[in-house]
Amino acid sequence: MVLKKVAGARVGEDAEDLRSWLASLDGAPEVHETVVLACAQHGDERPTWAYVEGTAAEGIARRRCLACATAVHLLDSASRWTHPPMRSCIGCGTSIVEVAAGLSIPDGEHVEWVVVGVRCVECGRLAGLTDMVVDSLPLAEVLSAL
Ligand SMILES: [Zn+2]
Ligand SMILES: [Zn+2]
C-alpha cells in the first residue's frame, strides 16, 4: 500500500489504495469490507473508470461507465435523485475516477452503513463522495445495488 499525502491531500496509486483509505476513515463507523465498483456490462474485463455524480448532503450517488456510458444509481439513490453536478477533482479538474465502497457490517451479514469514495485517475487524489445509512440490508442485496 502506498498511501501518501501530497500538499495535504490523500493520494493513492491505485484502487487498492482507495479501498485501504475507506477502511481507515477517522471518526466513521468501522468498515468491514471494501469493494471496487466496476461496470458489469463487459464480461470478465470490468472497467473501473467512471464519471460520478453525488452529494453527501443527501446521501445519493450515481456512477457512469467511461467505456459504455451505463449509469448505475447506488442503492436507492434513483428514487431520491436531485441531479447533483458531475464531480471533478478539486486538485486537477479531471472528472474520471475509480469508485469504491466501504461497508459497515457489524454482524457480518447485514450492512448498516455504506461510504463511497473516489480516486482521481489523473492525480490520484482520494475523496469521499457520499455515505448512506442503510437499514440492516443483507450484504448480498447491498452488493448488487452498488
Ligand atoms: Zn461499461
Ligand atoms: Zn485529480
pLDDT at 3: 53
Cell 469508485 belongs to 99
What's the total number of domains in the chain? 1
User: Which residues of the chain fall short of a pLDDT of 70?
Assistant: 1-7
The whole-number pLDDT of residue 36 equals 97
- Whose atoms come closest to the Cα of 64: which ligand? 1
CA of 96 to the centre of ligand 1 (A): 13
Instruction: Please give the distance, rounded to the nearest whole angstrom, from the Cα atom of residue 122 to the centre of ligand 2.
Output: 5
Q: Distance, CA 6 to ligand 1 centroid (Å)?
A: 31
For position 1, what pLDDT does the model report? 39
Amino acid 5: pLDDT: 63
Using the mean position of ligand 1's atoms as its centre, give its distance from the Cα of residue 43 in Å: 10
Whole domain around residue 23: which residue ranges?
A: 3-143
Pairing of strands 126-138, 110-120: antiparallel
Ligand nearest the Cα of residue 43 is 1
User: 93: burial class by Cβ within 10 Å (0-12, 13-18, 19+)?
Assistant: exposed
Distance between Cα 137 and ligand 2 center (Å): 33
User: What is the per-residue DSSP string for 104-115?
Assistant: E-TTSSEEEEEE
Q: 88 CA to middle of ligand 2, Å?
A: 8
